[in-house]
Amino acid sequence: KAGVTQTPRYLIKTRGQQVTLSCSPISGHRSVSWYQQTPGQGLQFLFEYFSETQRNKGNFPGRFSGRQFSNSRSEMNVSTLELGDSALYLCASSLADLPDSPLHFGNGTRLTVT
Amino acid sequence: AQSVAQPEDQVNVAEGNPLTVKCTYSVSGNPYLFWYVQYPNRGLQFLLKYITGDNLVKGSYGFEAEFNKSQTSFHLKKPSALVSDSALYFCAVRDNNNDMRFGAGTRLTVKP
């Protein structure tokens, strides 16, 4: 079974631009979560989608948005990029909307904003 | 609010020695606790979880974790460390919104 796939692996953008990251979950997984990982802040929760609905959102500005499609694939968009948005963005999927379901992570998209 | 804390940024052990990576938690109700490992330029990999039952949980790659309710701890352990165990380790807890909250991470270095 294929794992969580994130594309692209690397992105370089300039301030003010916008970017879209893509995530394909493990087949059959309906929950998709997004995290931002930086050396200083660790892993910060962005948002989670389940069956095309955003269930919860972390403490990020409105420039960060996402969506989930009917096939459970998810995209994350960041508009008006800032230097501080440089980070590894991780997507994770889980089988069910249950508290004991572990997350399965992709290898991430490394975003560099110059 | 549910949270986990990893008191050590860095743990160094010699190959063949036992290792412990510490984690304490703060939850209301029953805790759902997890350990993940991250290798360079990769995403996190699930190692093990505690839901209920035995306090000693066994997971992947020979790792185990001990749940201690009185000390609100969930330390990750391995009897004999390998150089290949060197990585970043994260403790996590499911919060009341069913979101996974992670600790700051502990970098484990195993020296030959």
Partner-chain contact A103 B44, CB within 8 Å: yes
Look at residue B30 and tell me whether its pLDDT is greater than 90: no
Q: What is the pLDDT of residues A33-86, one digit of tens each?
A: 999 999 877 899 999 999 999 988 999 999 999 999 999 999 999 999 999 999
Q: Count the neighbouring beta carbons within 10 Å of the beta carbon of residue A31.
A: 23
pLDDT at B85: 96
Tell whether A42 lies on the interface with B, counting CB pairs under 8 A. Answer: yes
Distance CA B57, CA B63 (A): 9
Query: For residue B45, which phi and psi values (nearest 5 degrees)?
Result: -115, 135
Partner-chain contact B45 A105, CB within 8 Å: yes
- Assess contact for B105 and B92: CB atoms under 8 A: no
Within the 80-99 window of chain A, which residues sit less than 8 Å (CB to CB) from chain B? 90, 92, 97-99
Bond into A8 cis (ω within 30): yes
Chain A nearest C-alpha distance from B72 (Å): 18
